[in-house]
């Protein structure tokens, strides 16, 4: 059942005093409008008009204000939207007042030509509207100013001096909370901000001392803060990296506000209490992707959405974001009990998610009969297939299972979805499927072809693939490995000092996957723009420094040599693919010539037989043939490696 916003007017126990104050202000505004209009005193007919109309002007105004939902919050938290509601409501009251006086004629006066009604002068109408807006907005702003005013702030003797990066909205909120909460033990000594219009000004008494570029090292040396807080939730990685580098060289601890994604998912705690340590995701140097999930995910509203691999890193984030756009039902499917239980409990505890919209299904995508049962019971209209094995080294040791789970299971899901009338089917793929050189990459390339074949076979379903690079924090990422190695005291091991990889955060990748689903028309391979590739060596050094240690001194970095089939650089497009733009930012289409469905069908029949027989060597040869078939060139069987221990 979908959640419906309550139609009741929000009131709380503090609404009555607010209503009484507004009633007094409306009455005062109406009286002042007449008093200012008539310099020599209000003439008797208009004095009678004022006296007779004042009660229902006040009463009618309060009714309009309540219906306009003006009393749902404390005035101390009034913002721009609340003031706009006040303006709109007063204008509505003014128009109603004019109409009522014109229709009802509350006051008449006798003349030689008969009784003549007394109307409201236009100047009284204009004055009433302006005075009411000024008084009612003013009282709300006054309440907010009194609430936010530092009440004789004096830092504790043991307070830590803090330099705030960013004098915008985030920085101001941090400053206000520090000034209001002496128990935080912080003493703000200044801001740094790159906006030239803020240079040398004071923000609520705290000076802006410079920018984050050439002036930042000087500011750190002069102020010598005990701590630096980055108060820009949308700050790019280049700025964060620059600030972190300067602070680390001086041994100054640095923390940051959560990113926009974390703030949206976080609770109601204050900004300062949400400040966390800087993580590697913050300093990658790439511009963050910003989408409004309510807007880009609107096509999921009221749908039955199935997410496979729901307990994995990508699948779980898909579930979190999809749950926030109010699908009619969200089906969480995973074959790992612990992971499924974890994401189910997390979503059930989320105040934005109604438990009745969730269905947790413990099942394996490889089992076609079981999948048909699930589809038949829940009737999903949109499927995000995120279930996959991701660990390259582990898949080299288990090539048969890699192909079974990543390729054959995808074909099963696509076939079942097409047979049972799913409207949209989205496969989550990887850049390792491009010119695959490992079993994991080859299995994901096969998965892409399975979806392509299904698109030709089932025109009623929009099949699409979304391909992207490494995702920070996912189970297949190098970042958790580096963190564990640093925690143990090192060494941090890399396979090649020249190696680079594309990186993106999990929330960014998932938002782009959801956006791609709205673009799917049938058969597309969407490729996410990952920014510039990141040096793995530099990533290792950054992670060591973010842990407060020194590379090569506190933590050693060892080069252990590349694993079989491991590439130095990854690509997002195959040589036979042509990048094409889409209407969405950061999303491209890999345009390519389609393979004949019967060819793919025949090849999958052979692969299925090899998997059934457990023939790892034969499987490697067959996968190589598929690569050559797509590219139109001969590829040596060694191009796809299989670990000899398999």
Beta bridge partners, 202, equal 207
**Phi and psi at residue 4, in whole multiples of 5°?**
-115, 130
Co-location of 124 and 91 in the same domain: yes
CA distance 567 to 450: 25
389 DSSP 8-state letter: -
Co-location of 260 and 329 in the same domain: no
CA distance 614 to 139: 77
Tokens of 190: 């200044």
Q: How far is CA 235 from CA 204, 232, 248, 529, 555, in A?
A: 22, 5, 18, 19, 29
Co-location of 469 and 598 in the same domain: yes
Report the number of distinct structural domains present in the chain. Answer: 3
Is 442 in contact with 607 (CB distance < 8 Å)? no
**Which residue carries 């006296």 as its tokens?**
51
In a domain, 288, yes or no: no
Angle ∠(89,95,98) on CA atoms, nearest 5: 140
CATH number of the domain residue 376 falls in:
3.40.50.720
Q: How far is CA 178 from CA 198, 294, 481, 557, in A?
A: 21, 32, 37, 40
| Lowest-pLDDT range of 49-53, 155-159, 433-437, 560-564 | 155-159
Is 380 in contact with 359 (CB distance < 8 Å)? no
First to last CA, the chain: 49
In a domain, 153, yes or no: no
The predicted structure's pLDDT at residue 533: 82
Co-location of 464 and 373 in the same domain: yes
Q: Which residues contact 218 (CB under 8 A, 6 or more apart)?
A: 210
C-alpha closest to that of 212 among 173, 163, 170 = 163
In DSSP notation, 215-249 reads: THHHHHHHH--SEEEE--TT--HHHHHHHHHHHHH
Co-location of 144 and 192 in the same domain: no
Co-location of 129 and 164 in the same domain: no
At 14-31, the pLDDT tens digits run: 788 888 999 999 999 988
CA distance 609 to 595: 21
Q: Which residues contact 524 (CB under 8 A, 6 or more apart)?
A: 464, 465, 516, 589
Q: Is 214 exposed, middle or buried (0-12, 13-18, 19+ CB in 10 A)?
A: exposed
Question: Which of 278, 313, 344 is the C-terminal boundary of a domain?
Answer: 278
Tokens of 277: 């340590």
The predicted structure's pLDDT at residue 121: 79
416, pLDDT greater than 90: yes
Taking residues 244-273, what's their average pLDDT? 65
In a domain, 514, yes or no: yes
In a domain, 143, yes or no: yes
- Tell me the torsion sign for CA atoms 87, 93, 96, 100: negative
Average pLDDT of the residues of the chain: 81
In DSSP notation, 447-483 reads: HHHHHHHHHHH-TTSEEEEEE--EEETSTT-HHHHHH
286, pLDDT greater than 50: yes
Co-location of 600 and 454 in the same domain: yes
Q: Which residues contact 149 (CB under 8 A, 6 or more apart)?
A: none
441, pLDDT greater than 70: yes
At 330-355, the pLDDT tens digits run: 999 999 999 999 999 999 888 778 77
Co-location of 333 and 274 in the same domain: no
Q: How far is CA 292 from CA 22, 261, 297, 304, in A?
A: 36, 10, 8, 21
Co-location of 252 and 214 in the same domain: yes
In a domain, 306, yes or no: yes
* Percent of the chain with pLDDT strictly greater than 70: 83
C-alpha closest to that of 616 among 462, 486, 485, 443 = 443
Task: Work out the pLDDT band at 196, boundaries 50, 70, 90.
Answer: confident
The predicted structure's pLDDT at residue 5: 41
594 DSSP 8-state letter: P
Tokens of 405: 């789970």
At 479-528, the pLDDT tens digits run: 778 888 888 888 989 988 888 888 777 888 888 899 999 898 888 999 98
Cα radius of gyration rounded to whole Å, the chain: 32
Task: Work out the pLDDT band at 1, boundaries 50, 70, 90.
Answer: very low
Beta bridge partners, 174, equal none
The predicted structure's pLDDT at residue 642: 44
In a domain, 285, yes or no: no
Q: How far is CA 585 from CA 288, 297, 425, in A?
A: 11, 15, 21
Question: Which of 278, 306, 340 is the C-terminal boundary of a domain?
Answer: 278
Q: How far is CA 569 from CA 2, 226, 496, 559, in A?
A: 46, 41, 10, 16
Tokens of 170: 């985030």
360, pLDDT greater than 50: yes
CA distance 426 to 482: 31
Co-location of 121 and 181 in the same domain: no
The predicted structure's pLDDT at residue 461: 94
Residues shown for the chain: 646
Give residue 234's domain range.
160-278
Number of helical (H) and strand (E) elements in the chain, helices listed first: 22, 24
Co-location of 138 and 164 in the same domain: no
Higher pLDDT, 298 or 275: 298
In DSSP notation, 194-222 reads: S-GGGTT-EETTEEEEE-SSTTHHHHHHH
At 558-572, the pLDDT tens digits run: 988 887 767 888 888
Question: Which of 94, 123, 148 is the C-terminal boundary of a domain?
Answer: 148
578, pLDDT greater than 60: yes
At 203-245, the pLDDT tens digits run: 877 888 888 888 888 989 888 898 888 888 777 777 777 888 8
CA distance 435 to 440: 12
CA distance 12 to 19: 11
Is 289 in contact with 321 (CB distance < 8 Å)? no
C-alpha closest to that of 446 among 433, 459, 435 = 433
The predicted structure's pLDDT at residue 152: 52
118, pLDDT greater than 70: no
In a domain, 632, yes or no: yes
**Phi and psi at residue 436, in whole multiples of 5°?**
-60, 135
C-alpha closest to that of 253 among 231, 218, 236, 277 = 277
Co-location of 306 and 273 in the same domain: no
Helix residue spans in 105-121 (DSSP H): none
261, pLDDT greater than 50: no
The predicted structure's pLDDT at residue 638: 40
Task: Work out the pLDDT band at 451, boundaries 50, 70, 90.
Answer: very high
258, pLDDT greater than 50: yes
Is 186 in contact with 158 (CB distance < 8 Å)? no
At 2-17, the pLDDT tens digits run: 444 444 456 666 788 8
In a domain, 427, yes or no: yes
Tokens of 336: 């790992």
Taking residues 71-83, what's their average pLDDT? 79
The predicted structure's pLDDT at residue 535: 86
């Amino acid at each position: 059942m979908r959640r419906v916003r309550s139609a009741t007017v929000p009131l709380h126990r503090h609404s009555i005093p607010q209503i009484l104050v507004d009633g007094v202000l409306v009455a005062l505004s109406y009286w002042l409008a007449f008093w200012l209009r008539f310099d020599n005193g209000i003439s008797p007919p208009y004095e009678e008009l004022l006296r007779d109309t004042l009660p229902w002007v006040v009463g009618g105004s309060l009714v309009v204000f309540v219906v306009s939902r003006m009393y749902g919050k404390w005035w101390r938290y009034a913002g721009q939207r609340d003031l706009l509601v006040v303006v709109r409501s007063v204008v509505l009251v003014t128009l109603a007042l004019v109409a009522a006086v014109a229709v009802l004629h509350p006051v008449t006066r006798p003349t030689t030509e008969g009784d003549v009604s007394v109307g409201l002068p236009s100047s009284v109408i204009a004055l009433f509207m302006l005075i009411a807006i000024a008084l009612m907005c003013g009282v709300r702003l006054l309440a907010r100013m009194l609430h936010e005013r530092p009440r004789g702030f004096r830092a504790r003797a043991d307070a830590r001096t803090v330099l705030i990066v960013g004098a915008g909205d985030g920085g101001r909120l941090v400053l206000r909370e520090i000034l209001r909460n002496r128990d935080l033990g912080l003493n703000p000594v200044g801001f740094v901000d790159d906006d030239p219009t803020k240079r040398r000004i004071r923000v609520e008494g705290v000076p802006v001392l410079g920018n984050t570029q050439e002036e930042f090292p000087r500011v750190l040396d002069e102020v010598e803060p005990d701590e630096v807080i980055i108060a820009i939730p949308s700050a790019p990685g280049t700025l964060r990296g620059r600030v972190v580098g300067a602070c680390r060289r001086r041994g100054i601890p640095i923390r940051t506000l959560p990113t926009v994604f974390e703030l949206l998912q976080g609770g109601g705690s204050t900004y300062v209490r949400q400040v966390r340590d800087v993580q590697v995701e913050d300093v990658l140097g790439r511009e963050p992707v910003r989408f409004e999930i309510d807007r880009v995910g609107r096509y999921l509203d009221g749908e039955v959405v199935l997410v496979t691999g729901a307990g994995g890193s990508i699948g779980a984030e898909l579930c979190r974001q999809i749950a926030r756009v109010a699908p009619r039902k969200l089906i969480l499917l995973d074959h790992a009990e612990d992971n499924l239980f974890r994401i189910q409990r997390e979503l059930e505890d989320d105040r934005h998610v109604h438990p009745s919209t969730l269905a947790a299904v413990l099942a394996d995508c490889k089992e076609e009969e079981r999948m048909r049962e699930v589809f038949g019971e829940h009737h999903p209209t949109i499927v995000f297939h995120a279930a996959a094995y991701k660990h390259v080294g582990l898949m080299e040791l288990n090539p048969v299972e890699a192909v079974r789970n990543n390729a054959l299971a995808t074909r099963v899901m696509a076939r079942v979805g097409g047979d049972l009338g799913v409207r949209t089917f989205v496969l989550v793929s990887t850049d390792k499927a491009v010119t695959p050189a490992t079993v994991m990459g080859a299995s994901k390339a096969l998965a892409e072809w399975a979806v392509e074949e299904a698109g030709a076979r089932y025109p009623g379903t929009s099949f699409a693939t979304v391909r992207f690079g490494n995702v920070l924090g996912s189970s297949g990422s190098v970042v958790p490995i580096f963190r564990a190695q640093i925690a143990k005291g090192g060494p941090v091991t890399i396979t090649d000092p020249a190696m680079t990889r594309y990186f993106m955060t999990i929330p960014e990748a998932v938002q782009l996957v959801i956006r791609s689903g709205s673009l799917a028309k049938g058969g597309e391979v969407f490729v996410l723009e990952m920014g510039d590739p990141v040096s793995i060596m530099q990533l290792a050094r950054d992670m060591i420094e973010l842990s407060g240690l020194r590379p090569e001194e506190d933590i050693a970095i060892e080069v252990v040599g590349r694993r079989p089939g491991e590439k130095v650089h990854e690509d997002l497009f195959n040589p036979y693919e042509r990048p094409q733009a889409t209407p969405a930012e950061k999303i491209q289409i890999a345009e390519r010539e389609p393979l004949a469905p019967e060819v793919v069908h025949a090849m999958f029949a052979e692969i299925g037989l090899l998997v059934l027989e457990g023939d790892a060597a034969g499987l490697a040869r067959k996968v190589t043939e598929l690569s050559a078939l797509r590219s139109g060139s001969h590829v040596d069987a060694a191009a796809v490696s299989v670990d000899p221990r398999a």
